[in-house]
């Protein structure tokens, strides 16, 4: 829909897009945070020779939470349609005894609540509102599985990396760099129908110990501060 605000905002959007493109083309080296972002830059005219993928780092604690809430599915972050929480809610009837905890705020929350009411799932979905810091960290650490079923581009979802670092496996969509973030520490679903989502979550739950170990090993190898620091130092030396 094109309202007055959209029409007035269009010149600004076009100008900033042009400015960003010029800035990108003038750089001698770019460090996209994922292969997915690198591919997008190539599509937009950036030479692959000027790209070196450097992932965002994540802190990997030495120990993980042991008192996991066995029946908890977690969705943490901004609540919007493109995050795909509605698909998780609709899959709940196929996942017995599991509860969905939604930590975050956003304009799509009212629509999610309608879906919850329509499916009579009020007793199985908790809306926690905005949480951060240690509170959020504890909620994530105690979850059995993390979900992020984005329907649009995800450069490199930090919520997945942080969950993996805490030993919490994830079920994600194939949008952008979500698959890179989860690695073998979870499952990537290519279809967002209820059965596919439910099967993926149930598979992770059945083999959670294995997926948990894989998730931590994956982020420790690919996304730890030490690993990323060494990669950055190497690239900067080449530029000097």
Check residue 5 and give its pLDDT.
Answer: 58
Question: What is the C-alpha separation between 223 and 234, in angstroms, rounded?
Answer: 16
pLDDT average, residue stretch 215-232: 94
Q: Is-contact 28 239, C-beta < 8 A? A: yes
Check residue 46 and give its pLDDT.
Answer: 87
Is the pLDDT assigned to residue 88 strictly greater than 70?
yes
Check residue 126 and give its pLDDT.
Answer: 97
- Residue-wise pLDDT tens digits, 17-45: 777 777 777 788 899 999 999 998 898 88
Q: What is the DSSP string of 5-36?
A: HHHHHHHHHHHHHHHHHHHHHH-S-B--SSHH
Chain mean pLDDT for the chain: 91
- Residue-wise pLDDT tens digits, 135-190: 999 999 999 999 999 998 889 999 999 999 999 999 999 999 999 999 999 999 99
């Amino acid at each position: 829909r094109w309202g007055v605000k959209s029409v007035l905002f269009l010149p600004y959007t076009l100008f900033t897009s042009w400015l960003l493109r010029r800035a990108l083309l003038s750089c001698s080296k770019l460090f996209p945070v994922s292969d997915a972002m690198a591919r997008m830059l190539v599509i937009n005219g950036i030479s692959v020779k000027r790209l070196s993928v450097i992932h965002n780092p994540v802190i990997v604690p030495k120990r993980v939470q042991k008192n996991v809430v066995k029946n908890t599915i977690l969705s943490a972050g901004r609540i919007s349609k493109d995050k795909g929480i509605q698909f998780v809610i609709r899959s709940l009837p196929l996942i017995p005894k599991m509860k969905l905890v939604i930590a975050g705020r956003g304009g799509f929350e009212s629509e999610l609540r309608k879906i919850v009411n329509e499916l009579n799932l009020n007793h199985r979905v908790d809306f926690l509102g905005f949480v951060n810091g240690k509170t959020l960290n504890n909620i994530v650490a105690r979850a059995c599985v993390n979900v992020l079923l984005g329907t649009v581009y995800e450069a490199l979802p930090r919520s997945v990396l942080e969950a993996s670092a805490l030993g919490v496996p994830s079920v994600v969509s194939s949008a952008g760099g979500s698959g890179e973030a989860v690695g073998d520490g979870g499952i990537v679903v290519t279809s967002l129908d209820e059965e596919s989502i439910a099967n993926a979550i149930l598979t992770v739950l059945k083999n959670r110990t294995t997926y948990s170990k894989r998730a931590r090993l994956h982020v420790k190898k690919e996304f730890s501060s030490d690993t990323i620091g060494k990669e950055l130092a190497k690239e900067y030396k080449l530029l000097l």
